[in-house]
Every structure is written in C-alpha cells, then in structure tokens.
Amino acid sequence: MKLKNKKILVTGAGGFIGSHLTEVLLEAGCDVRAFVHYNSLNNRGWLEGHKTGAPSRLEVVAGDIRDSNGVFQAVKGCDVVFHLAALIAIPFSYNSPDSYVETNIRGTLNVLQAARQLDLERVLVTSTSEVYGTAQYVPIDEKHPCKGQSPYSATKIGADKLAESFFCSFGTRIVTVRPFNTYGPRQSARAVIPSVIIQLLSGKRKIKLGSVSPRRDFNFVTDTAKGFVALAETDKAVGEVFNVASGREYSIEEVAGILISSINPDAKLACGAAERLRPDESEVLRLMGDNRKIRRLAGWKPQISLRDGLQVTVEWFRKPENLARYKADIYNV
C-alpha cells in the first residue's frame, strides 16, 4: 500500500514525533488531518506557526483522545491512522497513573473502535521500548518479554495488547510500532538529551542528571518518522510488532559527554540528583533493539548517526527563539 494521496490521521500531531511525522507525510504527498490536544488558546503544539510546505494538504483538528465521539469524528473519512497521542513522561506517571490509564489505554481503545467501525486500511499504534523493561538479553527482539516497570510502561503494554486483540478478534489491520529512544529538535526537556543541551546553552557548568549508567538505543526523529511510514506501506507488517531501533547502545554518561565536549568542555556532570532518580526497581538499566525484522520486511534502516543527529539537535536549540521555549532552571517531568 502506498500512502501518497491517502487521507491520513495523525493523533498527537502537535507533539515531538507527531509533528515530524506530519511533515514527512506531507512531503510524501499525503493529505494529513492532524489531531492535536484541545486547549482554550487554540495552541497547536509544535505545529503552531510551523511551515509544513503544503498547508492546503494539512487539516488541523483539536480534541481529546479520551473522548470517543471526538476521536470517531477525527478518524471518519481517513484511510490510515498513525496513533501517537499519549502521556509519556515516566516520572509524572508515578504521580498521576490514573491519567495515564485514561489517555494511553482508553485513548487507544477509542482509536481502535473507530478504526474497526470505519474499516480503515491501516492503523499504526505507537508502543515504546520501555515495555520491555531492563533487557533480559540483547539485542532486544520483538519476542522479548514485557515488564511494566513504571505506570507509563504498564499502560503502553495494555494498549499494545488491546491492539493485538483487535487484530485477532476483528481483523482490524493493526501494526504496532515500538520506537526506541527518539531524540531531535522539538523534544521535551523531560528527556535527557534536551535537558543536557538546555543546561549547557544556558551557561550552567554543573549539569544535573539522575543516574548516568543506564544504556539506551538512540534514534534521530526523522529516522523514527520514516520507520512509521515504511511500516504503513508494508502489507506484511499487518498484525505484527516492530522495533524501530539503531541496534547500538550508549550510556547516558557517554551521550552527556559528547554534548559537553561540543558545547562547553569546562562543564561537569553532577549526577544522582534525588528528584531525577527513578525508584530502584523502576529504573530500566539497558535497552538495545534488534532491528532485523523492520529491515527485512519494510526495508528500513537508520540513516543518521548519533553524533550527526546530536549536532543537528544542538544547532536547533541554539536558535534563541527555540531555546526560549525551555526552562533550564527546573527539573522537567
């Protein structure tokens, strides 16, 4: 199935990955309906004031993923849904697990019900590498056991299983996309890479972090977005789960070191800040993904190296209008 000229719904389109995916889809010749979170200021998130290059092919609608009627109306008339709307911050999920259940599980159910009733050609449900918990073996393939080490990851496991059930029970054409740690321009400061960058660019010499020993598989955001597109266009992907991963791992300390070297070599890490540490049993110590399945079935592979991606990300944050959006003096959850 080719996406060109298809009507595509992207939920969570105002977010980090969602806004980049919207751009990639517009560049591919799709008509995109961008579903953003309703607010009284009519703010469209990262689509606000952003030049997509094809405004006539972009329709922005506001709503709440927890509202079944609003979701149904957004899905109506579309051929394909990329479902990215979610609450994703792990620390905040300790504080407000109820909201994660409502958004991540109930919200996914609303998308699945609408897709089933409207018989969509394809539904791509966004999972996360966090569902695996600390790696029991590496590289982590799609058969690796899941473990809910945080309320966030538990709700994503629940959403994944709902998607699986709709494929098995009703034949809904589901693809589950499991990105590993995505980074790049526009990412929230709750993530480690933007957190380090904004502290450095704000002139701080002591860079506050929590644990720096966990290891992660980092992927530049345009690579992740193109992984979504490749899976949507692959008929063999239906009913399957796919990692979107580089197959390489770096510790948080290593990544922070690269950023410090490139921005301010005189800065030092101040590790172990209590408010930045996860509970011991909740910390995921190692994630490194096996990408052989998506390479084999969808022909996707990452194009941007970590160092190149970090350079692009730093240059984006250097622009005063971008850096001004972030708060370097607080711990963002």
Average pLDDT (4-23) is: 98
DSSP letters along 163-229, please?
HHHHHHHH---EEEEEE-EEE-TT--TTSHHHHHHHHHHTT-SEEE-S----EE-EEEHHHHHHHHH
Tally of structural domains, the chain: 1
- Give the chain's end-to-end CA distance (angstroms, integer): 39
Q: Answer yes or no: is 43 within a domain.
A: yes
Going by C-beta distance under 8 Å and a sequence separation of 6 or more, which residues neighbour residue 321? none
DSSP letters along 250-278, please?
EEHHHHHHHHHHHH-TT-EEE---GGGPP
What is the gyration radius of the CA atoms in the chain, in angstroms? 19
Q: Answer yes or no: is 255 within a domain.
A: no
Going by C-beta distance under 8 Å and a sequence separation of 6 or more, which residues neighbour residue 41? none
Report the pLDDT value the prediction gives residue 51, as an integer from 0 to 100.
58
- Smallest CA-to-CA distance from 108 within 89, 137, 79, 128 is with 128
Answer with the residue of higher pLDDT: 302 or 332.
302
pLDDT category at 209 given cuts 50, 70, 90 is very high
Is the pLDDT at 328 greater than 90, yes or no? no
Cα–Cα distance measured from residue 198 to residue 67, given in angstroms and rounded to the nearest whole number? 35
pLDDT category at 229 given cuts 50, 70, 90 is very high
Cα–Cα distance measured from residue 218 to residue 269, given in angstroms and rounded to the nearest whole number? 20
The domain in which residue 153 lies consists of: 7-183+219-244
Average pLDDT (203-231) is: 96
Cα–Cα distance measured from residue 14 to residue 85, given in angstroms and rounded to the nearest whole number? 9
Q: Answer yes or no: is 133 within a domain.
A: yes
Beta-bridged to residue 179, according to DSSP, are 244
Cα–Cα distance measured from residue 274 to residue 264, given in angstroms and rounded to the nearest whole number? 25
DSSP letters along 98-114, please?
HHHIIIIIIHHHHHHHH
The one-letter amino acid code at 157 reads I
State the average pLDDT for the chain: 96
* Contact yes or no for 200/209 (Cβ under 8 A): no
Look up the CATH number of the domain holding residue 65: 3.40.50.720
- 131 backbone dihedrals φ, ψ, rounded to 5°: -65, -20
Q: Answer yes or no: is 235 within a domain.
A: yes
Average pLDDT (181-186) is: 98
Cα–Cα distance measured from residue 25 to residue 6, given in angstroms and rounded to the nearest whole number? 10
Q: Answer yes or no: is 332 within a domain.
A: no
Q: Answer yes or no: is 208 within a domain.
A: no
The one-letter amino acid code at 208 reads K
Q: Answer yes or no: is 145 within a domain.
A: yes
- Give pLDDT tens digits for 52-98: 455 689 999 999 999 999 999 999 999 999 999 999 999 999 999 99
Average pLDDT (291-317) is: 98
Per DSSP, the three-state class of 10 is strand
Cα–Cα distance measured from residue 304 to residue 111, given in angstroms and rounded to the nearest whole number? 32
Q: Answer yes or no: is 314 within a domain.
A: no
